[in-house]
Amino acid sequence: MREQDDDVGEFSATGNGGVWSFVGTDTGVGGFDELFLGVNAFGFCAEGSPDEPVVTVNGAGFVPIEIIMVRCNTDGPPVDTEMKITSGPWLYVGEQPTAPEVSLETFPLPF
């Protein structure tokens, strides 16, 4: 998993954002030490993960994933969270096989 360009507003004085994700048993209960992916533009806290963390899953089945995206004081910045499964290409989370489906119907754009 990664944020496409590892940029969620770092270079904008007014645009701040972040994306944090947890995987597996850390989903829904994880704290900073359990972050799988952490990218933010807040100078007061560390990002908490490598730029492209990897998890190995043994066997078939669902893998719980929790993704939190924040945008502050701006109508952006773009937060492009992508995943790569095995040797496939990097694709947006919504383009990967998920259940439930990640779509604009499930997660509408902000107004």
Give average pLDDT by consecutive 10-residue segment, the chain, 111 residues. 70 65 85 80 62 73 81 64 85 81 71 44
Residues ≥6 apart with Cβ < 8 Å to 77: 7, 8, 9, 12, 15, 17, 41, 71
pLDDT on residue 81: 83
pLDDT on residue 7: 64
The whole-model pTM stands at: 0.69
Pairing of strands 37-40, 91-92: unpaired
pLDDT on residue 86: 81
pLDDT on residue 111: 44
Residues ≥6 apart with Cβ < 8 Å to 18: 8, 38, 39, 40, 41, 42, 68, 69, 70, 79
For residue 26, give both structure tokens. 């850390």
